[in-house]
Amino acid sequence: MYPDLDPCLHDEMVVATFKGPPSECCENKKMERKPSGRRRVFVQTDTGCVLGMELDRCDNAHTVKRKLQVAFNVPTQESSLICGDMVLKNDLSVVRNDSPLLLTKTFLHRSSSTPCLSPTGRDLQQRDQSGPIEVIGCSDMFAGAKQLVKDIMKAIKVGIEPIPIHGGLGGAYYFRNSNGENVAIVKPTDEEPYAPNNPKGFVGKTLGQPGLKRSVRVGETGFREVAAYLLDHDHFANVPCTALVKVRHSIFNVNDRVNGSMQHNKKQISKIASLQQFIPHDFDASDHGTSSFPVAAVHRIGILDVRILNTDRHAGNLLVRKLEGSGRFDQVELFPIDHGLCLPESLEDPYFEWIHWPQASIPFSDDELDYIYNLDPFRDSDMLKMELPMIREACLRVLVLCTIFLKEAAAFGLCLAEIGEMMSREFQGHEEEPSELELICIETKKQLDQEELFSFEAEVVEKDVIQFELDCEDQDLNLNTKVEEKPSVMSPFQVGARNGVVRNTLCKLVESVMEEDETGSQGELPPLGSDEYNGVGNGVPNVSKLSLSVKNTRAGEKGRQQSGIKQKSGFLAGTSSGNTTVNDLPASSSFVKLTDMDEDRWNQFLENFQRLLIPAFFNRKQGNASKKQRQRLGTSCQF
């Protein structure tokens, strides 16, 4: 069943099931899935409990919840079964083998007279009989993780137990090999900061709610760690081997009470966790002078951080290992870790520790430029959807956008520091201003809205002309008379203004900028595709003025949805199977939203985005974007 494991361990790897034995797992075939109708899934409750189970072809979300009700001894009528963005209802065909699912309670009322609905470790382990550690996924990309699992399981059988890590805000554990050496770090998803079973007192939320960063949900940092490893093609940045696992051990923490108190017991607890190879090192970057770091190592880590919009690249998560041997005096090797706060669901303010290091201002080498040139954001997105089916569409759009930005910026000749600065927000006093990247996205959305409006008006005029000619033929009326009597066609924005409805936010933004520039007629836009519109020449809106207009417009429109062309059916509208999508995160300090576009509009957005990049890079090179020292506040989550 598990060809990578020793035969003596096979009897311990029985997955909890309700109907028959599990199917055979694929052997050494990249991204291959089970050929039979059965699929193995791992269901996790929003309080952290995990159960491995088999899905039959006849199963739907209701039958799965009934099975979970029997297993967990809790009511599941008012709960939802979620896979990534999708709320599962009748059809489970979108659920692939080895997928982690989340069972969330829609309504949950607790009082002193109502017992907590979360099952205790004792209740759960009477039913979950899966193996000590199982890698979630059958791809060859996780071959290194499977070897680590074999070493760890051998050590556990001879009595070598894992060790809790006392630093940090979340629960983490060193797992060792038979020699007692640390070989992996395991971080359970339900022991993250604010998660239900956090062992250090940082509790108060269920899985799926906003976490330390509002655009990264509680319980979802684990798959981001795996995503960073999968995106590090050819180990370019030295990200250690990482995988999602289902792991069972008594060392894990369970807060059995509503007040979050720790439960010390010897019962076996099953968790979904990230497992990352432990890298022996001498210190981290905060304990070593950064000037001696190799330029290539800094560039490679920075390239990865830009692609994944890392919001927490501080010195503490850059491991430093000395290289020994002749001619290697004072040479070091860097290993980036802790990528749980990358790939946010919206454009965030990244935190790049390297942004002011001298290495970041050195131009990219030819090898680095070749690597960037060969990056394919759409292929990367498809790969992540295959390997991590729980990843959200919003995260993938951030990946695609940032990779395109990196490729265009590197081709234009910008260095790593310039790229990082264009992605980072600026602080004016205590006010946070959008980054240059976000301003480009705002301009792109404005241009897209105008193109759709002009297209809509042209379509309406064409239809009216056709109808007009038909009416003339039918009624044999005078053409000139008919033209005089024809009512004028009003755009959606004009109708809204006449009826007292506030117009599109981006229209206000354009007018505000033009009023400040005092360039002539108010509200008149340059023609689409012209040099003035595309940002070449004197028609480029000043970044500081555009940023101020964004702030003023957002203050007046807070909490109001953007008006405009009606959204077409797409992934946000659900599918024909009856499945719906999970609600967006609560509003935060996001200036640009990428998930309010269907697939066609998103593709058009990317085309317009690329057209506006060259003028923005030209401004950056000319020094028009920002001539003063960038004022930033630390947003790292290092404690």
Residue 151 belongs to some domain of the structure: yes
Residue 225 belongs to some domain of the structure: yes
Q: Hey, is 220 helix, strand or coil?
A: coil
Residue 60 belongs to some domain of the structure: yes
Residue 65 sits in the same domain as residue 184: no
* Residue 43 reports pLDDT greater than 50: yes
Question: Can you give the pLDDT at residue 314?
Answer: 94
HSE at residue 319, side-chain half, CA atoms within 13 A, is 16
Q: What mean pLDDT is predicted for residues 418-426?
A: 95
Residue 134 sits in the same domain as residue 100: no
With cut-offs at 50, 70 and 90, classify the pLDDT of residue 504.
Answer: very low
Residue 274 sits in the same domain as residue 142: yes
> Which residues are within 8 A (CB) of 268 and not within 5 positions of it... i.e. 6 or more apart?
121, 125, 248, 249, 250
Residue 50 sits in the same domain as residue 138: no
The per-residue pLDDT for range 580-621, each reduced to its tens digit, is 555 555 544 678 889 889 999 999 999 999 999 999 999 998
Residue 510 belongs to some domain of the structure: no
The per-residue pLDDT for range 528-579, each reduced to its tens digit, is 444 444 444 444 444 444 444 444 444 444 443 343 333 333 333 333 445 5
With cut-offs at 50, 70 and 90, classify the pLDDT of residue 110.
Answer: very low
Distance spanning both ends of the chain, measured CA to CA: 43
Residue 144 sits in the same domain as residue 238: yes
d(CA 307, CA 377): 9
Our count of domains for the chain comes to 2
Among 244, 278, 312, the domain boundary falls at 278
* Residue 472 reports pLDDT greater than 70: no
Residue 154 belongs to some domain of the structure: yes
Residue 138 sits in the same domain as residue 100: no
Residue 170 sits in the same domain as residue 76: no
Among 219, 246, 278, the domain boundary falls at 278
Q: What mean pLDDT is predicted for residues 37-60?
A: 75
Residue 149 belongs to some domain of the structure: yes
Residue 83 sits in the same domain as residue 202: no
Strand 269-277 and strand 242-249: pairing?
antiparallel
pTM reported for the whole predicted model: 0.71
Q: What mean pLDDT is predicted for residues 127-154?
A: 83
Residue 97 sits in the same domain as residue 203: no
Residue 91 sits in the same domain as residue 135: no
Helices 599-622, 436-475: inter-axial angle, 10-degree rounding: 130
Contact criterion met (CB below 8 Å) for 512 and 553: yes
CATH number, position 71: 3.10.20.90
Residue 319 belongs to some domain of the structure: no
More confident residue, 337 or 635: 337
Q: What mean pLDDT is predicted for residues 512-526?
A: 43
Residue 170 belongs to some domain of the structure: yes
Among 226, 247, 278, the domain boundary falls at 278
Q: How many CB atoms lie within 10 A of CB 384?
A: 20
Residue 199 sits in the same domain as residue 273: yes
Residue 174 sits in the same domain as residue 243: yes
d(CA 472, CA 467): 9
- For residue 89, give its domain range: 38-105
